[in-house]
Amino acid sequence: MQQPIVQYLDANSKMHGDANKVGLAQKDHRTIFTLMLKVRLFEERCMKLQRQGRIGFYIGAYGQEASHIASAYAFRKQDWIFPSYRELGVMLLRGISMQEIVNQIYGNSEDHTQGAQMPCHHSFRKANFVSISSPIATQIPQAVGMAMAAKYKGDKVIAGVYLGDGGTSEGDFHVAMNFAGVYQAPVVFIVENNQWAISCPAHEQTASDGFAIKAKAYGFEGLRVDGNDVLAVYEATKRAVEKARQGKGPTLIENVTYRLFSHSSSDDASRYQNKQEYEQALKCEPLIRYRNYLQEQGIWNEAWEKEISEDFKKEVDVAIKTAEKQPRPDPSTLFTHVYATSNPLLEEQQRLLQEELKERESWEEEGAFPL
């Protein structure tokens, strides 16, 4: 039997329990809704850019906006975030500009990672937003390591780590959970159970009753939360964050949500998702639920959302036009930041690349294809 699910706002946007307990003021609701809306609008635009061949790849959070934005809202800015793939809203919350985000997706010369990462694999040191990794679950032990370092130093910062349901099947997850439980690491594990690890459904991912229950085996609390309910996600994460900061150890939060788009722009979810299940999930997706609730509270109105949307679309347009004007990164940046100091092997590789680039230039000048 699965754990009871933490919920304040049901699928019909009706409130259960005391909203005051959640601790979100009107300005907080406005901020969270604005971020959710911006993420939705931006990702719709990026999918169009990818289909037009203007960017190479995109992976989004359609249907999971409440899970990552409301949870991130419970952390302090000095806390460290170890993301998975779908945490765009965390970057916006922490002040990363749309231009910086778009530059990375294009991988142009203004991308501060100089095209060294896949699109959407962001990294922003100034926001304590650690580099996204393509390999599954590598960020989980990294988060625990950072949390333990902070504990040893007596620093009151904590770590928040995001992963998908598929990540719970990796060895890194279990190693990190065990270590965190034994040493009471100040870390919050956030499993975004969107029901799919690419085409593998959650019921084929584990034989346990959900993912929150896995925390029990490692000696700490696991919470199962309605991941489409902003209030529940925020309140559960806030409690876990406070507990970690007080030295009372880790928490695993399973945000139960649904991925309303393909895994990425390289995937076609219609080949494996059940149409009826998808349509049911679409009816209670987080943006609709939250909008309805805020309207009842007198916080949302159509004119306000329209103003946000129009202003943001203009901001995105400018960011895209600016990004497309930038040249590609200099090839020599391939060798930057590989090691703290250079070494003979790296220098030899750089020399060979420079020779090849000069040879290519001569081919282009001659107008002949090298055979």
Fold for the domain defined by 19-325? Rossmann fold (3.40.50)
- 105 closest CA partner among 20, 168, 48: 48
Residue 330 has what pLDDT?
A: 92
Token look-up 């990672």 returns 113
174 belongs to the catalytic site: no
Residue 202 has what pLDDT?
A: 95
Low-confidence residues in the chain, pLDDT < 70 = 1, 363-371
Q: How do residues 168-177 score in pLDDT, each as one tens digit?
A: 999 999 999 9
Tokens, residue 353: 């690349």
Residue 5 has what pLDDT?
A: 94
Q: What residue spans define the domains of the chain?
A: 19-325, 331-366
123-160 in b/e form (b: 16+ CB < 10 A) is: bbeebbbbbbbeebbebbbbbbbbbbebbeeeeebbbb
**Residue pair 259/62 in contact by the 8 Å Cβ criterion:** yes
Q: Determine the residue type at 219.
A: G
Residue 365 has what pLDDT?
A: 62
Tell me if residue 322 falls in helix, strand or coil.
helix
Per DSSP, the residues of 90-105 read HHHHTT--HHHHHHHH
Q: Which of 121, 122, 259, 289 is catalytic?
A: 259
Per DSSP, the residues of 243-269 read HHHTT---EEEEEE----S-SSTT--G
360 belongs to the catalytic site: no
Backbone φ and ψ for 258, nearest 5 degrees, come out as -150, 135
Q: For residue 235, give every residue at least 6 positions away whose Cβ sits within 8 Å of its Cβ, in sequence order, or none.
A: 6, 8, 21, 22, 23
Q: Which of 122, 263, 289, 291 is catalytic?
A: 263
76 belongs to the catalytic site: no
Q: How do residues 360-371 score in pLDDT, each as one tens digit?
A: 877 666 555 444
